[in-house]
Each structure stands twice: as C-alpha cells, then as structure tokens.
C-alpha cells in the first residue's frame, strides 16, 4: 500500500487590529475589542500609547498589558521621525521597551541616514506608511521604495492599500513588487477613486479595492518565503 501523500501546511496570514480604528476607545476597551474579534495582534495608535513622547516605563507597561491579554504588539500608529537624534532615539527606545515587532513610521527624508543608524543599533524593523496623493513625501508605495532602497533591509514598507489605490498604484501588484521589504499592511476598502485626496472608507467587500486579490498575493508571498 503506497504511503499517503504529504500534506503541505496551510499558509497563514497574521491579522491584527490597527487601533486607529478604536481611537475613541480606551486602551482597555481596545484590548477587549481585539479579543472579541479573536485577533492575535494589535498596532497601537498614539491615543493608546504615544511612541514619540511617552516614557520608557509607560511603553513597557503597555507592552506588558498586551502580552498579559495574549495580544502581540505588531506595530504602531504612524510615528513621526524628525531629523533630530534625541527624538529618534526616544522613539526607538520606547518601541523596544514595549516589545514592538515593527515600528510603523514616517521619517523625514533627511532623517533616513539617522534612522538607519538606530535601526542597526536596536536591530529594529521599521515600515514607512504611504498616505495617498495629499502626502507630498510618501504618497505611494513606489515613493516609499525609492526612498528606502539604498538603506538597510530592515527599513521597509507599510502598504496602506486604500491610500495606495488613491495614489494610482495597484495594491495587488504592489504586494508582489515590494514583497522583499513589505513588513506591514493596512487592509481596508474604499469608494475613493484614484487621485482623490479624501478617502471614503467602507466595509470590506463593498468598495473598489480587490481584497481577494490582495489576500491571494499575500499568500503567494508567504509560500515563496516558506
């Protein structure tokens, strides 16, 4: 009798809540929401922990509270990184104290060499968030890639699919194109059209974005990376 064929392990995507969505709720209420949704991760917006200005002890306590609730701290709200060594160091110290996986951020272009210095010192992944046509610095994933390509591989992208679509990019293609340094992704749907400076967020599946195509592209990347 022939041996049964090996069954490949299913590819998995790691989902979480970006707490910008619960910015009107407290941290405790946000944690409760994550648990009700049966998610395992959260990226915390500044309303729940201000990574730029909080103390190390405050950030450590937030990280511990999430871990105690069984929730991974996968990222942050978009943390500003100016060309100021003391401020950049503080942000890196804060996310390390909290045990954050990837700092989602917006460095000033002139600050990228400084940011690279701290990425190496702290061995910390960061992901630069694209923010649509109204953002003159990082409107699209292509603009983020052009800025980061010369720098350390731990400096990557947070692909916001709604803003990318408004900036004229194809979010499905972007997943594959930037997969080597795609460290976070904001999944949403929108009725906005390319070129629009205002988003029109709607329930997933009711807008213009190919959510199924994005998920398939992410699974393909997961298969390639093993």
d(CA 164, CA 95): 26
Bridging pattern class, strands 155-160 and 182-186: parallel
pLDDT above 70 coverage of the chain, percent? 95
Q: What is the DSSP secondary-structure string of 73-105? A: EEEES-EEE-S-HHHHHHHHHHHHHHT-SEEEE
Residue 223: CB atoms within 10 Å: 10
- 3-class SS at 173? helix
pLDDT digits (tens, 9 = 90+) for 116-145: 999 999 999 999 999 999 999 999 999 999
Task: Tell me what pLDDT residue 11 has.
Answer: 57
pLDDT digits (tens, 9 = 90+) for 161-192: 999 999 999 999 999 999 999 999 999 999 99
Residue 114 CA, chain-centre distance (Å), reads 21
User: What is the average pLDDT across 213-220?
Assistant: 97
pLDDT digits (tens, 9 = 90+) for 2-25: 444 444 445 579 999 999 999 999
pLDDT digits (tens, 9 = 90+) for 31-54: 999 999 999 999 999 999 999 999
Any residues with CB less than 8 A from the CB of 4 and at least 6 apart, and which?
A: none
How high is the mean pLDDT of the chain? 94
d(CA 48, CA 7): 42
Residue 109: CB atoms within 10 Å: 9
Residue 60 has pLDDT above 90, yes or no: yes
Q: Give the closest residue to 149 by CA, choosing from 123, 175, 127, 181.
A: 181
Task: Tell me what pLDDT residue 203 has.
Answer: 96
Q: Using the CB atoms, write b or e for 42-59: b if 16+ within 10 Å.
A: bbbbbbbbbbbebeeeeb
């Amino acid at each position: 009798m022939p041996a049964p064929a090996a069954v490949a392990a299913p590819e998995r995507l790691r989902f979480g809540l970006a707490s910008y969505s619960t910015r009107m709720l407290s941290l405790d209420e946000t944690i409760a929401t994550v648990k009700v949704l049966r998610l395992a991760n959260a990226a915390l917006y500044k309303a729940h922990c201000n990574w730029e200005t909080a103390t190390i002890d405050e950030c450590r306590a937030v990280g511990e509270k999430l871990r105690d609730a069984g929730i991974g701290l996968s990222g942050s709200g978009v943390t500003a990184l100016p060309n100021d060594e003391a401020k950049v160091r503080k942000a890196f110290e804060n996310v390390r104290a909290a045990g954050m996986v990837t700092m989602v951020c917006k460095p000033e272009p002139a600050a990228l060499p400084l940011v690279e210095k701290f990425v190496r010192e702290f061995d910390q992944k960061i992901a630069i968030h694209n923010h649509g046509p109204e953002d003159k610095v990082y409107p699209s994933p292509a603009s983020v890639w052009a800025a980061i390509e010369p720098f350390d591989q731990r400096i990557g992208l947070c692909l916001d699919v709604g803003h990318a679509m408004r900036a004229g990019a194809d979010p499905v293609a972007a997943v594959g194109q930037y997969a080597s340094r795609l460290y976070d992704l904001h999944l949403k749907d929108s009725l906005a059209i390319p070129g629009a400076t205002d988003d029109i967020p709607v329930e997933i599946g009711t807008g213009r974005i190919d959510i199924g195509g994005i998920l398939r592209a992410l699974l393909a990347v997961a298969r390639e990376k093993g």
